[in-house]
């Protein structure tokens, strides 16, 4: 007998509750049963219980005014550059700390992200403004090997250190949204969609394995609504001519 259906009926009878067909078992019941089965060494039965769906929450993003305020907050050039770079290229925290100086191609205006999530490499554009800032940073800080050195001369930054930089500089702003370091990547993706970048290109820029992951930004982006029309009209440039006929 299916473990889920079995316990669904037993619990309902014992609690005096009739669960409608298809109704999910309350969360605390699933947790209790999992613990009980594992305590008895019945791990297979624990696995057979229904999985709990995660709450579907949309990412929180920063608008352009908030981003400008955040990037103006750091007093240290290194902190300003690293936060701006994350947003400008939509990088994950781990990707930033793994960047080497040689991964930045100023002539071709590209950033080479190596062996990131899913063990994939990708190339993303380097903003002209970011290139100017990085050159200034490299000249002033003179990092060795890694683009952003940590406490040790030959060591790189840590994700924990990056998160601290984000938190401390948020305190200097008037931003009240519950955001973190990864919110800069969310903001990058949303803003690109709003500026006309298609979802397939965005998937590649973000390094997603599945386009369904990228599609969450469609729920946030304020994209312009394009009026429905026939492609034949644009083929022969017929727009508006029908009224004149």
217 as an active site residue: the answer is: yes
Q: How many residues does the chain have?
A: 245
Q: In what order do the strands lie in the sheet with 104-105?
A: 104-105, 110-113, 122-125
3-state SS, 173-197, equals CCCCCCCCCHHHHHHHHHHHHHCCC
182 as an active site residue: the answer is: yes
117 as an active site residue: the answer is: yes
- Give the active site residue among 185, 186, 191, 203: 185
Radius of gyration of the chain (CA): 25
28 as an active site residue: the answer is: no
118 as an active site residue: the answer is: no
- Give the active site residue among 92, 186, 191, 203: 92
185 as an active site residue: the answer is: yes
| Buried b / exposed e along 82-106 (16+ C-beta atoms within 10 A) | bbbbbbbbbbbbebbbbbeeebbee
Q: Hey, which residues are catalytic here?
A: 92, 117, 182, 185, 208, 217
């Amino acid at each position: 007998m299916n473990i889920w259906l079995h316990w669904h009926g037993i619990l309902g009878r014992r609690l005096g509750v009739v669960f409608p067909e298809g109704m999910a078992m309350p969360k605390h019941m699933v947790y209790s049963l999992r613990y009980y089965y594992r305590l008895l060494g019945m791990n297979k039965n624990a696995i057979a219980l229904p999985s709990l769906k995660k709450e579907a929450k949309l990412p929180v993003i920063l608008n352009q005014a908030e981003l400008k305020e955040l990037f103006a907050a750091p007093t240290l050039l290194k902190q300003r550059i690293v936060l701006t770079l994350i947003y400008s290229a939509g990088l994950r925290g781990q990707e930033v700390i793994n960047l080497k100086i040689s991964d930045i191609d100023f002539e071709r205006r590209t950033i080479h992200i190596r062996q990131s999530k899913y063990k994939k490499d990708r190339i993303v554009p380097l903003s002209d403004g970011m290139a100017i800032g990085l050159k200034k940073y490299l000249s002033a800080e003179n990092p060795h090997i890694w683009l952003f050195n940590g406490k040790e001369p030959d060591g790189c930054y840590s994700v924990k250190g990056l998160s601290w930089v984000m938190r401390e500089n948020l305190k200097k702003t008037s931003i009240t949204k519950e955001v973190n370091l990864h919110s800069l990547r969310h903001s990058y993706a949303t803003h690109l969609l709003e500026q006309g970048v298609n979802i397939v290109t965005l998937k590649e820029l973000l390094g997603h394995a599945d386009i369904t992951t990228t599609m969450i930004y469609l729920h946030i982006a304020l994209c312009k609504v394009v009026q429905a029309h026939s492609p034949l009209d644009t083929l022969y440039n017929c727009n508006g001519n029908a009224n004149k006929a």
